């Protein structure tokens, strides 16, 4: 049921509850259980994004900009919440004891093209573009006079020279700010907008309120997600086969705990 008033105006912001570390652990357990109950879907979605990651890395290497691989891997988690829409639908159906099939998932994903999650995808991709652009800008400003035609040479420069240390420090500070902003606006907004009839602004505000209600717990979870995705990207993105579905399912359960309410079925 759409959560709008009888006059057609948007309903008030949905209530949010503070979460504890125990809630996150429970959600993670539930996420792993969802993956175990429907592994084919999780592996399929994970394989798609692992393949996308490998294609992008190969493209960067072919275009002779291999030093962009590291910032790409760091920024990859920024678009993760949108990438997991299919996984949210799997968890929603499992939680509601509904059948899960590929036709159900395709229809659910296809419906989002004209709904609010499509606007959230624009927000995520825009911030991801800002992240990649500022990396290129910092490289030009701080490392522009140095030659690094290979990824190994780039790593050597950023780890052994004062200019490289400054580049890492400034880049990670800027990236951390961008990641914090995007994480706060999206941590539960995508499943909320997919599950209920709210607008994108309400979704982002609700997500921000969830983070403010449990700042240490939610920021800690954000760090865990980022580290897990970065590690999963190391072996040719193959770790995403498991990490992405587990994190996606877990995010659904975190949303359901943080923003209690009836699910649309």
pLDDT value for 90:
95
| Residues with Cβ within 8 Å of residue 6, at least 6 apart in sequence | none
Query: What is the pLDDT, as a whole number, of residue 80?
Result: 63
Q: Cα–Cα distance between 68 and 28 in angstroms, integer?
A: 32
10 DSSP β-pair partners: 4
In the prediction, which pLDDT does 172 show? 83
What pLDDT score was predicted for residue 63? 73
Closest CA to 188 of 262, 248, 108: 248
In this prediction, residue 226 carries a pLDDT of 83
Q: Which of 152, 148, 127 is nearest to 139 (CA)?
A: 148
Task: List the domain boundaries for the chain.
Answer: 21-257
* pLDDT reported for residue 263: 47
Q: What pLDDT shows up at residue 194?
A: 87
- Residue 211 to residue 203: CA distance in whole angstroms: 13
At which residue do the structure tokens 């877990």 appear?
Answer: 250
pLDDT under 70: residue ranges of the chain:
1-11, 64, 66-67, 70, 73-83, 113-118, 147-149, 262-265
What pTM was estimated for this model as a whole?
0.80
Q: What is the pLDDT of residue 38?
A: 95
Contact 177, 246 (CB under 8 A): no
Find, among 198, 180, 51, the residue nearest to 119 by Cα.
198
pLDDT at 37: 96
What is the number of residues in the chain?
A: 265
């Amino acid at each position: 049921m759409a959560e709008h008033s009888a006059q057609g105006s948007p309903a008030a912001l949905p209530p949010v509850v503070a979460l504890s570390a125990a809630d996150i652990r429970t959600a993670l357990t539930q996420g792993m259980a969802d993956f175990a109950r429907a592994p084919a879907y999780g592996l399929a979605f994970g394989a798609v994004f692992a393949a996308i990651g490998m294609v992008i890395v190969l493209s960067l290497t072919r275009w002779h900009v291999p030093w962009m691989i590291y910032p790409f891997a760091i920024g990859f988690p920024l678009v993760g919440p949108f990438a997991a829409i299919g996984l949210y639908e799997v968890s929603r159906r499992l939680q509601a004891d509904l059948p899960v099939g590929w036709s159900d998932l395709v229809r659910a994903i296809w419906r989002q093209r004209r709904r609010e999650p499509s606007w959230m995808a624009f927000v995520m991709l825009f911030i991801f573009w800002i992240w990649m652009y500022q990396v290129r800008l910092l490289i030009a400003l701080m490392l522009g006079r140095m030659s690094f035609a290979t990824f190994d040479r780039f790593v050597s420069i950023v780890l052994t020279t004062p200019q490289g240390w400054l580049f890492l420090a400034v880049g990670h500070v800027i990236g951390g700010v961008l990641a914090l902003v995007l994480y706060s606006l999206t941590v539960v907004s995508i499943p909320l907008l997919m599950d209920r009839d709210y607008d994108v602004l309400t979704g982002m505000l609700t997500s921000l309120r969830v983070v403010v209600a449990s700042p240490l717990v939610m920021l800690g979870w954000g760090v865990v997600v980022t580290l897990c995705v970065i590690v999963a990207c190391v072996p040719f993105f193959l770790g995403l086969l498991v990490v992405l579905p587990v994190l996606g399912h877990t995010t659904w359960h975190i949303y359901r705990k943080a923003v209690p309410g009836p699910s649309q079925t």
